[in-house]
Amino acid sequence: MTRTSSAPSIALLAAVGFVLQASAAIAAAPAETGLEEVTVTAQRVSERLQEVPLSVTSLSATELEDRQISSGLDVVRQVPNLLGSNNVGLGSAASFFLRGVGQDESIATSDPAVGVYVDGVYISRQIANNVLLYDLERVEVLRGPQGTLYGRNTSGGAIKFVTKKPGKEFGGHVGVSYETEYSRYLVEAALNLPLNEQLSSKLTVVQTKQQNGFQKSRTTGQDAWAPEATGARAQLRWTPNDATDIVASVEYLKDQGEEIIGQDRLHDNPGTFFSVQSGLEDQFEETKTRAASINATIDFGSFQLESITGVRSLQQTFLIDVSDQVVPNYVIPNASTHNQWSQEFTFSGKVGAVDWLAGLYYMNERNHSFVGDQLFLFGGVIAGDFMRDLNNNAKSSAAFVHANWHATDKLTVSAGGRYTQEKKTVDVKQYVVMPGAIPGVTLANYAPASYPGARGPLLPFWDTAAVVALGQDVSPTFSKFDPKVGVDYKLNDQVMVFASWTKGFKSGGWNARVTDPRDFVLFRPESVTSIELGLKSTWLDNTLRVNLTYFDAKYQDFIITAINLETGNFLTVNAAKMHNRGFEGELAWNAAAPVTFFANFGTNSAKYTETTSPDIPLNNHVKRTPALTFALGGDLHVPAGTGELFANAWYSRQGQYSGDLANSPLAAVPAYAVLDASVGYRSAEDQWRIALSCKNCRNNENFHSALVFEVLGFATQFPSLPRQMFLSANYKFGSQR
């Protein structure tokens, strides 16, 4: 279902007038034009984007602000072939799919296929990877498998968030934003404070709260999906000399109100996704994240050392009804803790015509989850409260090397490889929550007080021993070597072509969202072999940038998440081989000094080439893989007084796709388009800024994913965000101006 509001908005009218303003600005503009140079660290060293033989999208701090990018999911429409949505029922979890590869199961025994990194530290849990973005330097998205340099579970790609570091001069900023339709405010403040010539510090705080939820239950009257977050980041930067740069960071973020109720399309159809009938009282979501990292770079002359140390602790609790029933059919309660620490050393240098890089990586992850399944099916004919005590741990270690041989001034040949070994363990205890104690049989409910599910004496149902007796390995070791070779050639100073062949893999795990030990199966790692052909080019005196890529990727042991249509159980299995190929393009044109236009597009031709299950016909569409996505946008900057007026608009359209493996009609996501726009004024030297903006200006209403449980009597569709209108102001002082 797609619904468009006819109500005009100021920001939408500004977007409509953008072309007229741009035409006038082009006619009156001075001759000085040119695109800004973009620098990325996609190959672990700082390089110009146009000289990197990879498919990379980079968004600067200014672009993040102008395009209203405040969360991980806001990045999606800026990147070719990147699809993203909230994981089912959880706004804190982002399910990213790149080139048809991703993960839509957030339980801790499954890993994402698109790696998310914050300041080089890998975020292992998809359950809380839709990070609130504040005080960022840039975002980089690497498309395709990154098996050599970003090896842990990046068979689809990698998304890198890079925060702003402390500087050596006093300064800071304060920003406020108010959303008018749902009464949401956001306050962000940062203070950069040098302590001496070698040591500087920075403190950044952010808080946002929404008074009115995006959704309301007609049964309980409860508002749902009203995001609220409080965060702080403190940093110290030590630069004792020109060769040493060490940044220590600690961060805390509390996120809540991100419960999303899917609407049952079998019985609940009021014409909008934001009115639901769920009768479950007090649905909620709360996530607390604590993180610390130390990033150090030291130049020893003949080589450079980079060290990245990261520690992350996550606690999440939630209670959601995924059936949208007056008497809920299926409720999922959760209370889990997730702890990880990682260490990476990277050495780089140059010997003659060869640039080389080598490194070591280690990560230790421990997860403890109390997961419930509360069932009330067919009017209570099948009913029960289950609780699963799930422990799973992972140790990942890797060694990698990469080298670029500059054979001539124009020709570069590259080669590298990464060896990864992962050891995983799992322990599970499944219980039935009873209404009363049975002496000598049940035991006291030992779930933490934060567990929001049904409580009562626990009747042991099955455990790890039952899984082992059924032939499943509960302590496997996965090993993989991923090579890469490539070549790039500069036709001239403005045009480069490149080609690469690479492998990547995503680790295996267990199908753990089950109530039957026969379904608790081990799935193997997923592997990919990918070929890329690309063009990086600038034209017309650096006013036009055109980057194009062709990719061809073949996946073995393709990991699929699905629903067993006969039993209604969740499945995560190696069920197919998959082949995808397509084109991607990114264009930027500085038409005149005040006007820049942007565009990107991505195509997919994905298909199954082999399946191991009769439930997966070869002619089924690969889920979450639209044949075409594209976006068009522009920025306008017109001098006015001592400052400038600015406006921008960004129109993106995502093709239709299937939201599930079975290609169910109720999971068929129609093509839809989104328009974002803003208009405002920026003072001289960017000291202060005011803006009126909107996201989803046309108020297009659509869903992005679905749980089709027709055998159990419901099929829920989960919506994307409605229109939001913002009035914002920002003030910079000191060195931040």
C-alpha closest to that of 178 among 540, 690, 641:
690
Is the predicted pLDDT of residue 573 greater than 60, yes or no? yes
Tokens standing for residue 579 = 């082949």
φ, ψ at 112 (rounded to 5°):
-70, 155
The DSSP string of 1-32 is: --B------HHHHHHHTHHHHHHHHHHH--S-
Give rounded-to-5 percent helix, strand, coil for the chain. Answer: 10, 60, 35
Is the predicted pLDDT of residue 685 greater than 90, yes or no? no
H or E segment and range at residue 469: helix 464-469
What pLDDT is stored for residue 150 in this prediction?
Answer: 78
Is the predicted pLDDT of residue 12 greater than 70, yes or no? no
Taking the C-alpha atoms of residue 90 and residue 96, their distance in angstroms, rounded to an integer, is 14
Pairing, β 714-719 against β 82-87: unpaired
Tokens standing for residue 339 = 């702890």
Tokens standing for residue 517 = 């030990």
Instruction: Note the helical H segments in 29-138.
Output: 61-66
Is the predicted pLDDT of residue 28 greater than 80, yes or no? no
Q: Is residue 737 part of a domain?
A: no
Q: Kindly provide the residue ranges of all beta strands, DSSP E only, lying in 171-242, ordered along the sequence.
A: 171-179, 184-194, 199-210, 215-217, 223-224, 228-241
Taking the C-alpha atoms of residue 576 and residue 591, their distance in angstroms, rounded to an integer, is 47
Long-range pairs, 685-691, Cβ under 8 A, ≥24: 685/737, 686/732, 686/737, 687/731, 687/732, 687/733, 687/737, 688/729, 688/730, 688/731, 688/732, 689/728, 689/729, 689/730, 689/731, 690/727, 690/728, 690/729, 690/730, 691/646, 691/726, 691/727, 691/728, 691/729
Average pLDDT value for residue range 73-81: 92
pLDDT, tens digit (0-9, with 9 covering 90-100), for 329-374: 999 999 999 999 999 999 999 999 999 999 999 999 999 999 999 9
Average pLDDT value for residue range 274-300: 96
C-alpha closest to that of 703 among 85, 69, 76, 61:
85
What pLDDT is stored for residue 41 in this prediction?
Answer: 82
Q: CA distances (Å), 498 to each of 401, 407, 443, 490, in order?
A: 20, 14, 63, 9
What pLDDT is stored for residue 251 in this prediction?
Answer: 97
pLDDT, tens digit (0-9, with 9 covering 90-100), for 514-568: 989 999 999 999 999 999 999 999 999 999 999 999 999 999 999 888 776 666 6
Taking the C-alpha atoms of residue 367 and residue 388, their distance in angstroms, rounded to an integer, is 13
C-alpha closest to that of 562 among 546, 578, 574, 579:
574
pLDDT, tens digit (0-9, with 9 covering 90-100), for 417-468: 999 999 999 999 999 999 999 999 999 999 999 999 999 999 999 999 999 9
What pLDDT is stored for residue 568 in this prediction?
Answer: 63
Q: Which residues contact 619 (CB under 8 A, 6 or more apart)?
A: none
47-56, 520-529, 706-715: which has the highest mean pLDDT? 520-529
Average pLDDT value for residue range 78-84: 93
Q: Is residue 5 part of a domain?
A: no
Average pLDDT value for residue range 279-308: 96
Taking the C-alpha atoms of residue 342 and residue 122, their distance in angstroms, rounded to an integer, is 8
Is the predicted pLDDT of residue 295 greater than 60, yes or no? yes
> 50 in helix, strand or coil?
helix
What pLDDT is stored for residue 268 in this prediction?
Answer: 84
What pLDDT is stored for residue 218 in this prediction?
Answer: 95
What pLDDT is stored for residue 615 in this prediction?
Answer: 67
Q: Is residue 4 part of a domain?
A: no
**160-164, 373-377, 690-694: the lowest-pLDDT one:** 373-377
Say if residues 255 and 92 touch (Cβ distance below 8 Å): yes
Q: What is the C-alpha R_g of the chain?
A: 26
Q: Which residues contact 308 (CB under 8 A, 6 or more apart)?
A: 119, 120, 121, 293, 294, 295, 342, 343, 344, 346
What pLDDT is stored for residue 20 in this prediction?
Answer: 43
pLDDT, tens digit (0-9, with 9 covering 90-100), for 404-416: 999 999 999 999 9
Average pLDDT value for residue range 238-265: 95
What pLDDT is stored for residue 2 in this prediction?
Answer: 47
Tokens standing for residue 340 = 């990880």
Cα within 13 Å of Cα(645), Cβ side: 9
H or E segment and range at residue 348: strand 330-351
pLDDT, tens digit (0-9, with 9 covering 90-100), for 653-664: 999 999 988 899
CB atoms within 10 A of CB 373: 19
What pLDDT is stored for residue 569 in this prediction?
Answer: 72
Taking the C-alpha atoms of residue 725 and residue 737, their distance in angstroms, rounded to an integer, is 27
Say if residues 400 and 420 touch (Cβ distance below 8 Å): no
pLDDT, tens digit (0-9, with 9 covering 90-100), for 634-647: 999 999 989 999 99
pLDDT, tens digit (0-9, with 9 covering 90-100), for 93-139: 888 999 999 988 889 999 988 999 999 999 999 887 887 889 999 99
> What's the CATH code of the domain at 297?
2.40.170.20
Domain count, the chain: 1
Is the predicted pLDDT of residue 628 greater than 90, yes or no? yes
Is the predicted pLDDT of residue 17 greater than 80, yes or no? no
Taking the C-alpha atoms of residue 100 and residue 553, their distance in angstroms, rounded to an integer, is 10
Say if residues 248 and 236 touch (Cβ distance below 8 Å): yes
Average pLDDT value for residue range 69-81: 91
The dihedral sign for the CA sequence 209, 212, 217, 220 = positive
Taking the C-alpha atoms of residue 112 and residue 507, their distance in angstroms, rounded to an integer, is 9
Q: CA distances (Å), 693 to each of 327, 648, 686, 726, in order?
A: 40, 9, 18, 5
For residue 663, what is the DSSP state? -
pTM of the predicted model as reported, rounded to 2 decimal places: 0.92
Position 29 confidence tier, pLDDT thresholds 50, 70, 90: very low
Q: Which residues contact 609 (CB under 8 A, 6 or more apart)?
A: 554, 576, 577, 578, 579, 618
What pLDDT is stored for residue 567 in this prediction?
Answer: 60
Q: Which residues contact 188 (CB under 8 A, 6 or more apart)?
A: 134, 135, 173, 174, 175, 176, 204, 205, 206
Taking the C-alpha atoms of residue 14 and residue 286, their distance in angstroms, rounded to an integer, is 37
Q: Is residue 444 part of a domain?
A: yes
Q: What is the mean pLDDT of the chain?
A: 91
Q: Quote the domain boundaries for residue 169.
A: 10-732
φ, ψ at 466 (rounded to 5°):
-70, -35
Q: Which residues contact 641 (CB under 8 A, 6 or more apart)?
A: none
Region of 68 on the Ramachandran plot (φ > 0 left; ψ -120 to 50 alpha; else beta): left
φ, ψ at 124 (rounded to 5°):
-80, -25
